[in-house]
Structure 1
Amino acid sequence: MRMPPVLRAQARACANLDSPFMARLLTGLADRWPAGSALGQLCEGWEDVDLGPSGASLPLRIAGGLHALVLRDEDADLAAVYPPHQVADAALIDTVLAAIERHQAFFADWMKNAPQTNEVRRAAVLIAAAHEIAARHPLPFAVSELGASGGLNLMFDRFALKTPAGRLGPDAPALTLSPEWDGPFPAPAPFTVADRRGVDLNPLDPHDTADALRLSAYLWADQPHRLELTRAAIAAQAAPVDRSDAIDWLAARLEMPRPGQLHLIYHTVAWQYFPAAAQTRGRALIEAAGTRASSDSPLAWLGMEADGGTGAAITLRLWPGDITLTLGRADFHGRWIRWTGL
């Protein structure tokens, strides 16, 4: 069977990201995988070679579907074994397997779409970096987010970052992020966002009921704070996200003249999923645009992406001058930030 190993691998990843419930759920499914069920046959016959988190992410699709049933109040028995309720592992998996059997048609449809989240806590990195950039280039920002999903983090300037080391953001923020912070804290450098737009191959409209459910269902049931932040961000979201190939879209954005503005391109745990050829082309486009940058129209490229180390590397390139900086590291879900700054 193909599924038990990838379920266990995803369970370990969830445990490392502070979700004991997801670890229990996925481990239990691995131990008692219903290979003969409709869902079992669908997964076993999946065309992708990699069914795990680097490929089709079938364990997360299954967990997201189960959570969606709970959030939509469509299965009272399932809701009774989900957080905040505490039940034994055997009772949890008995109930989950029964729900999978009851909702065969739902899962056949749900599994068609890859997991899609919009981790709001990653905006803490955007807030800190924006203040560092603004200290060097005190100009209005035009922001372009690659892999924006529902566009929640396009509103980062309306969020606050609060830690024992300091606070950044508006006085009346849409939400407040409080990651564990280590390192120097950025000095406040006021900035405005004059233009904001994102791109995604499959953008979600957070104001659409079905899309909002998808964004919420992939948040883990024993982490209600993530759901609270997402709902607050949905209420504040007012930025367009275009359906397009990210690099084609970026090429057009880079051709737009922006006198008196800093163009900030950013992506958080998205670039690493672009095909190698797209990364090469995107890098070349950004570097070419960098050669055209000036003090009146600078360019910044900010990334928060996996590099094989703990968490994600936070990198920044600035033009004119083609300055490359490592700003620190961050947890993939924004739980902690190790900041080095500029």
Structure 2
Amino acid sequence: MNLETAFRSQAEACAHLGSPMYGVLLTRVADALAAGGDAAEPFARVLAGHEDDPGPSALALRFAGSVHRLVLERRAGALAAYYPSVGGTFEPDGAWTALRGLVEAEPDAVREWLDRPPQTNEVGRSAALVAGLLEVTRATGLPVRLVEIGSSGGLNLLADRFCFVDDRGRAHGDPASPVRLDDAWAGPGPWRAADVRWPHVVERTGSDLMPIDVATTAGRLALTAYVWPDIGARHERLRGALRLAAQHPVEVRRAGALETVERLELVEGTVTVLWHSVMWQYLDRAEQDAVRDRLERLGAQATTTAGFAHVALEPGRRTSEEDRRFWLSVRRWPDGGDELHVGAGPHGPPIVWLTD
């Protein structure tokens, strides 16, 4: 995928997923790259060395996150006036002129974050993960050992402490939580079951190759920078989760996905739940296969009193003819049967529990 294509496809995705601002700005970067010559020069200089980055590495989002970080640090000059995340008002022509000026004036600063993966730690995705966890808890009745791979700052490890509002207006979880997800769940999901019980999490650990310490200013800056500037609800959820994390710190170890699942063991009297969201694409095929193999081996060890479950929110296609979508998948051992797929949004709500 060349640079123009990478930015144009990401622009279309952002516009479709609720960020008209990024839709415009990333399209204009793509147009400049396509034009070549003087129009492309400042962007080509900043992006040099990344021409062959694969699509799943999300180069355009890395670029956008690096720029947003400079805005948040008040290092982006006139561009801040157009970023809603710092009180600005987006206006396409003015924002584009200011963005181009920043890239021309501060190429090294913009390049600083191009080698790091986007780490949104999107709190809204907890709506999908907790919906899956409710299904596991309903079926097993066991306390939960929660393990997350690709945790970033570990905010979603606190998801059982959030408040979720379903399509009937009923709140689930902690009604006083600083994280509230309205219209989180719809359809005949486990939250409507007569025997539903809120998960009792007795242990929670996370892992990430580049863990973010949310107790630090740098960590909070990184997570905020990767949230799209013109989607206020996502920023509000993040701020609430950061407040919650300050009250209830969680451990996020520096480790890869395979290393984490290889050392995972089941514990009697609990169900061990491995979960993750929108991180699978960053693993190469060999690691994906090795992780799947380890999950099968753990599943073979599971019993009704030492259970195991895999809960994931990832994009994909179930058939070659189907459009790429975000899917919540839930699989339980020893008696969970086939994997359950549920449609979900890329940033979480609404989770529509209508399977086919």
State if a TM-score over 0.5 links the two structures.
yes
**Which residue does 1:60 correspond to in 2?**
61
Letter in 2 for 1:174: P
**Which residue does 1:32 correspond to in 2?**
32
Out of 79, 93, 98, the position equivalent to 1:95 is: 98
Residues 1:69 and 1:49: Cα distance change in structure 2 (over 3 Å):
closer
Task: Return the alpha-carbon distance in structure 1 between the equivalents of residues 76 and 281 of structure 2.
Answer: 36
Residues 1:196 and 1:103: Cα distance change in structure 2 (over 3 Å):
same
Deviation track 1:284-312 (CA, whole Å, cap 9, x = no partner) reads: 21211112211211111112112224531
Out of 245, 250, 264, the position equivalent to 1:253 is: 264
Residues 1:179 and 1:274: Cα distance change in structure 2 (over 3 Å):
farther
**Which residue does 1:320 correspond to in 2?**
334
**Which residue does 1:297 correspond to in 2?**
306
**Which residue does 1:74 correspond to in 2?**
75
Deviation track 1:228-266 (CA, whole Å, cap 9, x = no partner) reads: 111211222211111112112211122xx5111110111
The yes-or-no answer on 1:177 pairing with 2:181 is yes
Please report how far the alpha carbon of residue 174 of structure 1 lies from its aligned counterpart in structure 2 after TM superposition: 3.3
Identity %: 33
Letter in 1 for 2:257: A
The yes-or-no answer on 1:239 pairing with 2:250 is yes
Q: Is the 8 A contact 2:127 2:349 kept in 1?
A: no
* RMSD of aligned alpha carbons: 2.2
Task: Return the alpha-carbon distance in structure 2 between the equivalents of residues 200 and 173 of structure 1.
Answer: 26
**Which residue does 2:210 correspond to in 1?**
202
Letter in 2 for 1:31: D
Please report how far the alpha carbon of residue 36 of structure 1 lies from its aligned counterpart in structure 2 after TM superposition: 2.3
Task: Return the alpha-carbon distance in structure 2 between the equivalents of residues 181 and 236 of structure 1.
Answer: 22
Task: Return the alpha-carbon distance in structure 2 between the equivalents of residues 108 and 273 of structure 1.
Answer: 20
**Which residue does 1:147 correspond to in 2?**
150
Which runs of 5 or more residues in structure 2 are unaligned?
34-38, 318-322
Deviation track 1:283-341 (CA, whole Å, cap 9, x = no partner) reads: 22121111221121111111211222453122211112252232411011113222147
**What is the TM-score with the length of structure 2 in the denominator?**
0.87
Task: Return the alpha-carbon distance in structure 1 between the equivalents of residues 273 and 118 of structure 2.
Answer: 27
Letter in 1 for 2:268: P
Please report how far the alpha carbon of residue 131 of structure 1 lies from its aligned counterpart in structure 2 after TM superposition: 1.8
Q: Is the 8 A contact 2:166 2:186 kept in 1?
A: no
Q: Is the 8 A contact 2:133 2:311 kept in 1?
A: no
Residues 1:339 and 1:235: Cα distance change in structure 2 (over 3 Å):
same
Task: Return the alpha-carbon distance in structure 1 between the equivalents of residues 220 and 202 of structure 2.
Answer: 26
**Which residue does 1:275 correspond to in 2?**
284
More displaced 10-residue stretch of structure 1: 177-186 or 6-15: 177-186
Q: Is the 8 A contact 2:167 2:186 kept in 1?
A: no
Which runs of 5 or more residues in structure 1 are unaligned?
none
Task: Return the alpha-carbon distance in structure 1 between the equivalents of residues 96 and 16 of structure 2.
Answer: 21
Residues 1:331 and 1:279: Cα distance change in structure 2 (over 3 Å):
same
**Which residue does 1:18 correspond to in 2?**
18
Task: Return the alpha-carbon distance in structure 1 between the equivalents of residues 90 and 177 of structure 2.
Answer: 38
**What is the TM-score with the length of structure 1 in the denominator?**
0.91
**Which residue does 2:114 correspond to in 1?**
111
**Which residue does 1:224 correspond to in 2?**
232
Residues 1:60 and 1:79: Cα distance change in structure 2 (over 3 Å):
same
